[in-house]
């Protein structure tokens, strides 16, 4: 049998719909978390941002993340909405809540 992994990602993304706050050194946004995994997350913002600057994300469940944005793309058909894909650099608070939120059972 070939050495194939049944999932395309080591840590698959879970679809979520949670409010969050995303902060850069010079500004802060109310945003919506759209997907999460142990190592990354996607958030929707109302305006384009610089993806070359580290940010902090706070999710109401007591989760504080330090992230590095890796891409920015405009959402089709949703007006002025931008999805930012982020790599999680550090879970500053709420590590157990983060692990529970990202859990995907492997069948």
The pLDDT value recorded for residue 1 is 40
Helix/strand/coil for 91: strand
> Is position 32 within any domain?
yes
> Is position 86 within any domain?
yes
Domain CATH number, residue 38:
2.40.10.220
Looking only at Cα atoms, what is the longest distance across the chain?
53
Answer yes or no: are the C-beta atoms of 82 and 75 closer than 8 Å. yes
Q: Give the structural domain span for 73.
A: 14-99
Pairing mode of beta strands 63-74, 27-37: unpaired
- Residue whose pair of structure tokens reads 């395309």 in the numeric block: 8
Answer yes or no: are the C-beta atoms of 94 and 62 closer than 8 Å. yes
> Is position 47 within any domain?
yes
> Is position 30 within any domain?
yes
Residues 6+ apart with CB under 8 A from 77: none
pTM for the whole structure: 0.82
> Is position 2 within any domain?
no
What is the number of domains present in the chain?
A: 1
More confident residue, 55 or 7: 55
> Is position 6 within any domain?
no
Residues 6+ apart with CB under 8 A from 46: 29, 31, 80, 81, 82
Q: What pLDDT digit, counting tens, does each position of 46-67 carry?
A: 888 888 899 999 998 899 999 9
């Amino acid at each position: 049998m070939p050495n194939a992994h049944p999932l395309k990602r080591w840590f698959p993304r879970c679809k979520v719909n949670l409010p969050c706050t995303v902060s850069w050194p010079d500004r802060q946004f109310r945003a919506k978390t759209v997907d999460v995994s142990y190592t990354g997350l996607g958030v929707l913002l109302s305006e384009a941002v610089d993806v070359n600057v580290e940010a902090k994300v706070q999710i109401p469940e007591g989760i504080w993340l330090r992230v590095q944005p890796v891409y920015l793309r405009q959402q089709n058909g949703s007006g002025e909405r931008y999805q930012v894909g982020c790599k999680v650099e550090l879970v500053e608070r709420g590590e157990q809540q983060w692990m529970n939120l990202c859990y995907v059972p492997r069948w």
